[in-house]
Amino acid sequence: MRLPAVTALVLTVAALASPSGTHGWQLTQPYVGVTYSDKTLNEPRPIHLHVAQIDLRAPGIRFKVSPPGGDREVLRQSTLDFLTQERAQIAINGHYFLPFPSEDRTAWVIGLGASEGRVFSAFEVPEQSYALVAFAPAINIDRDNHATIVNYDPTYSDQRHVREKVSLWNVVAGSSQIVTGGTVSVPLYRDDNHFDAELDPGGPGNYSNAKAWADATTARTAIGLSKDRRTLTLFTVDVRGGSEGMRLSEVANVLIRDFGVFDALNLDGGGSTTMAMEDPVTGKPSVVNSSSDNPLGRVVATSLAVFANRP
């Protein structure tokens, strides 16, 4: 694992008086408006987190989602390659995609997607209805860095409109909204006791409320907003390098408790989970987490890049 060489910018280094179960954390401010947290927890199992919190009001902050291209919706690219290509400072992986597994160079994105105002993927009812909810909420970051959770508007037939009065600019969607209004909102399965649940039981793991897809401990990527919508949180947790992954409910609880997240989405995880960062001293880009696919990260459908000024 390669961490940014930001020793001179360290704000707080490990060994803090921290919550029970916390081995320690390291907070750095590698860029203006960006706080990066490298954090290790011992409970409920060894867990290694990499979290970037972005002050959406900071000068120089802007974003870009992977643009449309190819004979499907997007050209597949690793998060590290996207960061390098765009000369961005931080990036995480984004949407779920199909076909998968596949060596194809192009992919269809699952859920609403937009890059700098170009809407290239619509809300949808996914094939993986045991894991991904129908018409899953997305997060929109407009050209003025106003970030909002957006929801499907069924009054339009193209499935590319949202109920909120916003201009779609950079949009990424995942499997579901796992934090809503400051509380955990991991979706349930429809059964005799949950008629209005959002997921269908079954799938390759015969999933149900007794054995949920969300309860697997694996690598996770999530994105969240503070209550005042001024702080964007980019969250990853590893399932390699001594870290044993997390359940979605655990991710949601940590986002609320440790990072002040009020609303959050679960993005593509497992081998897709990647956080890449440019070293603010050397300018060298690298993957800062321990990818469970390969050291340079999986070739994914989309990534979200963050541009920021050096201190």
- pLDDT above 90 for 15: no
Instruction: Give the pLDDT mean for 144-152.
Output: 98
pTM for the full model?
Answer: 0.92
Residue with tokens 């987190």: 49
> At residue 82, does pLDDT exceed 50?
yes
> DSSP assignment of 83-109, as one string?
HHHHT-SEEEE---EES-S---SEEEE
d(CA 207, CA 191): 11
Residues 6+ apart with CB under 8 A from 96: 109, 110, 111, 126, 128, 132, 174, 175, 267, 268, 301
Nearest alpha carbon to residue 61 among 289, 208, 231? 231
The whole-number average pLDDT for the span 211-240 is: 98
Percentage of the chain lying above the pLDDT 70 cut = 92
Neighbours of 289 (CB within 10 A): 28
Domain residue limits, the chain: 49-307
Mean pLDDT value across residues 252-269: 97
Is residue 133 within 8 Å of residue 198, measured between CB atoms? yes
**Residue 43 pLDDT level (bands cut at 50, 70, 90):** confident
Distance CA 148, CA 139 (A): 6
Structure confidence by residue, pLDDT tens digits, 17-38:
333 344 456 889 999 999 999 9
pLDDT tens digits for range 168-211: 999 999 999 999 999 999 999 999 999 999 999 999 999 999 99
pLDDT at 25: 66
Those residues whose C-beta lies under 8 Å from the C-beta of residue 308, and which sit 6 or more positions away, are: 31, 32, 33, 34, 54, 58, 60, 61, 89, 90
pLDDT at 116 over 60: yes
| Whether the predicted pLDDT of 6 surpasses 50 | no
Q: How far apart are CA 246 and CA 188, in angstroms?
A: 17
Q: Is the pLDDT of residue 246 over 90?
A: yes
| Residue pair 251/239 in contact by the 8 Å Cβ criterion | no
Query: Quick check: 187 and 130 in contact, CB under 8 A?
Result: no
